[in-house]
Amino acid sequence: KGMALPQRILFPPEKICMDWQQRQRPGPGLCNLGSTCYINVILQCLTYTPPLANYLLSHEHSQSCQQQGFCMMCIMEVHIRKVLHSSASAILPGAVLRDLKFIGEEFEYGRQENAYEFLRCALNAMQRACLSGSSNMDISSQETTIIHQIFGGSMRSRVTCLSCQAVTDSQKAFLDVSLDIRAASSLSKVLEDCVTPKELDLKERFKCSKCKKKVAASKRVTIHQAPRVLTLCLERADQWTGKKISKFVDYPEYLDLRPYMSDTAGEPLLCSLYAIVVHSGDTCLEGHFFCYTKASNGLWYKMDDESVDSCDTYTVLGQQAYLLFYAR
């Protein structure tokens, strides 16, 4: 199943600008109103995502927005403008806190939540805002919004019959990738394991269209279309015990996606790290989130709620990272 061609392009990819339009110091920190650090880290990481910030600073969305009431794109536009143009030492992300239930039904004000879940809900809320008034559109066209053009990619799943070698391909779009880190000590090892073919177990027996019967088969998942901004979650909650996996996983400042693509031939696909989220605490259900982001001046800063402090790349690469943000 290949991806059908979109009937409409909602946002032309050539209009996306990956480089900052202006260079400046980072903006203020964000006030924590009690267990809102999970919101603050994601807002900071999104604020310092250059193509998203460039687009929202252009007012293009708000000038054409027809949405009545809650609109996550309008909220993010106001927030990013406020942060990048403010001389205050800390500001309150009031609109986000006010509309928390619209961003994700599961979020409860005053309760510690997961930063990764908030990221996913925030991106989905922005996607919904971009699709406002376009409910009858085909799926492929829905995946041409500014959000999918920045964060979206696709995975190809290739199943190979071990009897006749016939292959069956299917594709699936994604806005982020979650990775199992239990068996690896580095991001490259985790990604290598992801793209290594795995034999399907007996319960998953595959019906081969050539052999006309259920057969032994192997499955290989690769990145088919690389996103402009790759968001990775290093899963730190053990699926079986629920306990936090506190190991250090080595991750590079520059990541070449080419070895993990469906097509491994060609130029390197280099991505540069520009933000990370760190969780401190003994369990995944409590503790504290803070982040490191690269501002438009090219320098790294530790952002921990109200405080924003400069730091070096060596410090950034030495963290027990939970979320990694890479830009092409």
The tokens describing 39, both together, are 């919101």
Say what the pTM is.
0.95
85 is catalytic: no
Mean pLDDT of 204-218: 88
The answer to whether residue 113 sits within a structural domain is: yes
Catalytic residue among 45, 288, 291, 311: 288
Query: Residue 199: what pLDDT?
Result: 92
Query: Which 8-state DSSP code applies to residue 111?
Result: S
**Residue percentage of the chain with pLDDT more than 90:** 80
Identify the bridge partners of residue 168 per DSSP, sorted by sequence position.
Answer: 159
Catalytic residue among 37, 130, 208, 271: 37
pLDDT at 46 over 90: yes
Mean pLDDT of 68-94: 95
37 is catalytic: yes
Interval 225-258: pLDDT, tens: 999 999 999 999 887 887 899 999 999 999 999 9
The answer to whether residue 54 sits within a structural domain is: yes
Query: Residue 1: what pLDDT?
Result: 46
What's the CA gap between 219 and 236, in Å, rounded?
Answer: 25
Domain that holds residue 282: 26-327
The answer to whether residue 45 sits within a structural domain is: yes
The answer to whether residue 177 sits within a structural domain is: yes
The answer to whether residue 11 sits within a structural domain is: no
CA atoms within 13 A on the CB side of 106: 9
Query: Residue 238: what pLDDT?
Result: 85
Q: How many structural domains are present in the chain?
A: 1
Mean pLDDT of 170-195: 95
The answer to whether residue 92 sits within a structural domain is: yes
* Side chain identity at residue 9, one-letter code: I
The answer to whether residue 98 sits within a structural domain is: yes
The answer to whether residue 258 sits within a structural domain is: yes
DSSP assignment of 274-323 equals EEEEEEESSSTTSSEEEEEEE-TTS-EEEEETTEEEEE-HHHHTTS-EEE
CATH of the domain at 159: 3.90.70.10
